[in-house]
Homo-oligomer: A and B are copies of this chain.
């Protein structure tokens, strides 16, 4: 429609209040569950896509209390002072329950949230992590098309949201407190091995503990990389080796060194082709995640399946029907093709 053409021009147009409103409207369309909205959002996204992708995408995660908001506010203002435009998005699958915990974050980022060169959007409040992540990925494309050249995607350390954020960003930062055992939790959850940078936050409170944590995590990362992916090999200087930095968000100490590390990462990954490869891989993984969610949705909504799923599930639970046989029966109900072999 003509209205969407105007919306498109405003998103792609000059920074200012009109662009800001257009971005918000576009994101609202793509977060809508109405299928006509969804179709308009698809058309808008396809037109915006050629203008997206020119930002640097930074993922930031850390457990509640680690100081994410303070870190992001300090970083955002630092980057704006250097001439960047900064978008901050969030992935928080719990926000649909809590009514939007990241809205709290937004008000906590007092200066950044009112800055004309910053755009902050709370987490979409959808039911599943997959849905939340998908809408955040799409919102990222909108912000990029509008000329935001740094996109920060933050997440609280809940469930698999760190994996989702690492899967949509160029560089993934894990914020840690200088506490014993915290690194083990991150290793356990598989988050540590996703990290391109680990930042020991609130280092000023206990410098000795921060230094111990830095040494401990550096040693863990080295051990993890020994049998790990070739990305993390320590003998090849053409690939990035994850670094551990200390930081004090409260005093904004260490921002220079942090951004220097980010810039080194970006240069290296651009030169060795891994940045583009990572984005291609992410786009494909995103497509398959959407496909799997969509297939599962269609399957459970299929009338013949919906009519039998409860009974068959109970029989499998009760141990009177083999699970594999149950699956084949349900697949046959879903579509009358011959049973598949896999």
Contacts and interface: CB of A to CB of B under 8 A. Distances in A.
Interface of A: 33-35, 38-39, 42, 45-46, 49-50, 53, 126, 128, 130-131, 134, 137-138, 141, 180-181, 184-185, 187-188, 190, 192-193, 220, 223-224, 226-228, 279-280, 283-284, 286-288, 290-299, 301, 312-313, 316-317, 319-328, 330-331, 334-335, 337-342
A342 B293 contact: yes
B291 A331 contact: yes
Contacts of A326: 287, 290
9 tightest A-B CB contacts, nearest first: A290-B327, A286-B323, A287-B323, A181-B223, A294-B331, A33-B341, A45-B322, A295-B295, A42-B325
Contacts of A137: 323-324
A324 B286 contact: yes
B130 A325 contact: no
How many chain copies? 2
A46 B294 contact: no
Contacts of A288: 327
8 contacts: A131-B342, A180-B223, A181-B226, A184-B223, A188-B190, A286-B323, A292-B292, A293-B342
A319 B46 contact: no
B128 A331 contact: no
A128 B46 contact: no
Contact of A188 (B224, B301, B325, B340): B224
What is the predominant secondary structure among interface residues of chain A facing chain B? helix
B287 A313 contact: yes
A53, A138, A296, A342 pick with most chain B CB within 10 angstroms: A342
Contact of A330 (B134, B184, B291): B291
Contact of A185 (B224, B327, B334): B224
B188 A320 contact: no
A225 to B, nearest CB: 10
Contacts of A325: 42, 45-46
Given A317-B280, A324-B45, A325-B46, A342 B297 contact: yes
Contact of A294 (B224, B228, B328): B328
Given A190-B190, A284-B316, 10 more contacts: A35-B341, A38-B341, A39-B339, A138-B322, A188-B190, A188-B224, A287-B327, A297-B340, A298-B331, A298-B337
A224 B184 CA distance: 7
A128 B342 contact: yes
A322 B193 CA distance: 28
Contact of A322 (B49, B180, B279): B49
A324 B284 contact: no
Nearest to A276: B319
A341 B301 CA distance: 12
Contacts of A190: 188, 190
A319 B42 CA distance: 14
Nearest to A288: B327
B184 A188 contact: no
A237 B337 CA distance: 51
A330 B319 CA distance: 36
Nearest to A293: B342
B298 A328 contact: no
Nearest to A131: B342
